[in-house]
Amino acid sequence: MSWPTQQRWKGVASLFSNKWNFCHSVSALDGKHIASRCLPSAGSHYYNYKGFHSIMLFTLVDADYKFQYVDAGTNGCSSDAGIFSATALREALEINPLGLPEPEPLPDDDTPVPIFVIGDGTFALWLLTMKSFPDCNMTRQQCIFNYRLSRARHVVENAFGILASR
């Protein structure tokens, strides 16, 4: 798959902002367990925490449910965060050959903020990944942030649903 141009990244960030009310995001990350038979001599390598054998489909999805990055075939006992840390995507985000736009201020602010990808709570908070606040003693603003992030992150869940229905 080819990476979008800087202009396309800005367009995706605009879509996340307009459709999902979540600024500066260009993608949502997640992994999906694909059920499989136990391979001979695989042992528990492909046995996941959900109680069945699987391989992982790890993806990056834009605001229109389009897959931007796919990594398939990792054993089912791996975590989403573990898979992400071992992908070429993580390295590409770090050194930015993806052509992500330069940091820009959020609306009604003047502090530049980097463009980022969003993930669920299993991912580490990092300069280019965003996740929700922990669920304890949150302020009203943090609750609103978590709600909006969760809503924006559903694009990846919905993309898996669309893929599974085919």
Phi, psi of 123 (to 5 degrees): -85, 150
Residue 147 has a pLDDT of 93
Question: Mean pLDDT across the chain, nearest whole number?
Answer: 85
Residue 135 has a pLDDT of 83
Q: For the whole prediction, is pTM greater than 0.85?
A: no
Residue 106 has a pLDDT of 84
pLDDT tens digits, one per residue of 55-97: 888 888 999 999 988 888 777 777 777 788 788 788 777 776 6
Residues 6+ apart with CB under 8 A from 24: 13, 16, 17, 104, 106, 113, 114, 115, 116
**69: which 2 tokens?**
């990055």
Q: For residue 165, count other CB atoms closer than 10 A to its CB.
A: 6
Phi, psi of 108 (to 5 degrees): 60, 30
Q: What pLDDT band is residue 100 in, cutting at 50, 70 and 90?
A: confident
